[in-house]
Amino acid sequence: WGSRWGCPGRLDLLCVLALLGGCLLPVCRTRVYTNHWAVKIAGGFAEANRIASKYGFINIGQIGALKDYYHFYHSRTIKRSVLSSRGTHSFISMEPKVEWIQQQVVKKRTKRDYDFSRAQPTYFNDPKWPSMWYMHCSDNTHPCQSDMNIEGAWKRGYTGKNIVVTILDDGIERTHPDLMQNYDALASCDVNGNDLDPMPRYDASNENKHGTRCAGEVAAAANNSHCTVGIAFNAKIGGVRMLDGDVTDMVEAKSVSFNPQHVHIYSASWGPDDDGKTVDGPAPLTRQAFENGVRMGRRGLGSVFVWASGNGGRSKDHCSCDGYTN
């Protein structure tokens, strides 16, 4: 092998490892650059506005709860391009108060869901309660093992009362009959639309139903004769609409740092491709937002981030390839 591949003697092993690495790594995806930037600027909001105006940007505002990080938008830059921008506005990095700048790249994120339809006995009057097979493992009528002791927690009074959860997804139907009772506007916003309304965008394909379903799994009202029962049916529930558009580092950072002194738990059922060959995780802004959350969120107790492990079993995928769950 050493002579065949041009690797002299002692480098044989390195060559083999390099070849194996080349086989294991997925085909590189083309980066898609947006016309949005994340910029860290010292000096406050006024200084950020001055710099934005000087170089033709619009300052959308602070990125979530990240101090000194601002969301800049440039209308004359192509919305989506395989080439990073090298226009006049690139000189912004030479400003003394600009400590860091990053053109935002579109990240592929896949929603994670599970379907079930088995029926079991009931004691809630919600019609879908009998179909929640995991809750009925103790009935010896379904071959499953319940490890979470959910009913035991309920009997001890742990039903989510006084807890605030927000769903990071494609939006939630705040007017849904099973969510209205527990909906919390202070735990909700629309990162995609840059407003405070998390209502999903409706279309013929009904593709933006995922967040509402996730919210129902967490905090659907119990014993209201409608639909299902949430696992924490007395919790307050909100939603951050952030998957219905280009997902960038900035979008993720805004989402995981939304109102961290009010929201206790951030729940996300999405992530990189579960295809068994994708290795991906949070980029710099999101990593900083996570760190700030666990250090300072929830009034110093630390924000709790809950992530779905994924649907990659059939592809022999592993959580260690996912920088969000791992």
- Total domains in the fold of the chain: 2
In this structure, what CATH number is given to the domain that contains residue 172?
3.40.50.200
Lowest mean pLDDT among 3-7, 43-47, 215-219, 320-324: 3-7
Domain boundary pick from 105, 135, 165 = 105
99/116 same-domain check: no
Domain for residue 15, yes or no? Answer: no
190/217 same-domain check: yes
Domain for residue 139, yes or no? Answer: yes
- In the structure, what pLDDT confidence band is assigned to residue 147 with cuts at 50, 70 and 90? confident
Question: Has residue 151 got a pLDDT over 70?
Answer: yes
- In the structure, what pLDDT confidence band is assigned to residue 193 with cuts at 50, 70 and 90? very high
Domain for residue 156, yes or no? Answer: yes
Question: Has residue 175 got a pLDDT over 90?
Answer: yes
Instruction: Find the mean pLDDT for residues 310-325.
Output: 80
Question: Has residue 116 got a pLDDT over 60?
Answer: no
Domain boundary pick from 60, 88, 105 = 105
Dihedral of CA 126/132/134/140: which sign?
positive
121/95 same-domain check: no
65/159 same-domain check: no
In this structure, what CATH number is given to the domain that contains residue 93?
3.30.70.850
Domain for residue 13, yes or no? Answer: no
Give Cα 147 to chain centroid, integer Å.
26
58/179 same-domain check: no
Give Cα 16 to chain centroid, integer Å.
37
- b/e map 34-66, b = 16+ CB within 10 Å: bbbbbbbbeeeeebbeebbeebebebbebbbbb
- In the structure, what pLDDT confidence band is assigned to residue 27 with cuts at 50, 70 and 90? very low
Q: Rounded distance, CA 285 to CA 165, Å?
A: 22
Burial of 275 (0-12, 13-18, 19+ CB in 10 A): middle
Average pLDDT, the chain: 85
pTM: 0.71
Domain boundary pick from 105, 131, 160 = 105
278/183 same-domain check: yes
- In the structure, what pLDDT confidence band is assigned to residue 89 with cuts at 50, 70 and 90? low
287/309 same-domain check: yes
Question: Has residue 214 got a pLDDT over 50?
Answer: yes
Question: Has residue 118 got a pLDDT over 50?
Answer: no
How many residues appear in the chain? 326
Domain for residue 22, yes or no? Answer: no
- Give the range of the structural domain holding residue 90, as residue numbers without chain letter: 33-105
User: What 8-state DSSP symbol labels residue 44?
Assistant: -
136/153 same-domain check: yes
98/115 same-domain check: no
Domain for residue 165, yes or no? Answer: yes
154/136 same-domain check: yes
Instruction: Find the mean pLDDT for residues 265-281.
Output: 89
124/65 same-domain check: no
- In the structure, what pLDDT confidence band is assigned to residue 310 with cuts at 50, 70 and 90? confident
Domain for residue 14, yes or no? Answer: no
192/217 same-domain check: yes
Calculate what percentage of the chain has a pLDDT beyond 70: 85
Instruction: Find the mean pLDDT for residues 160-178.
Output: 98
Domain for residue 243, yes or no? Answer: yes
Lowest mean pLDDT among 9-13, 102-106, 219-223, 226-230: 9-13
Q: What is the pLDDT of residues 53-81, one digit of tens each?
A: 999 999 999 999 999 999 999 988 888 88
CA angle 32, 33, 34 (to 5 degrees): 120
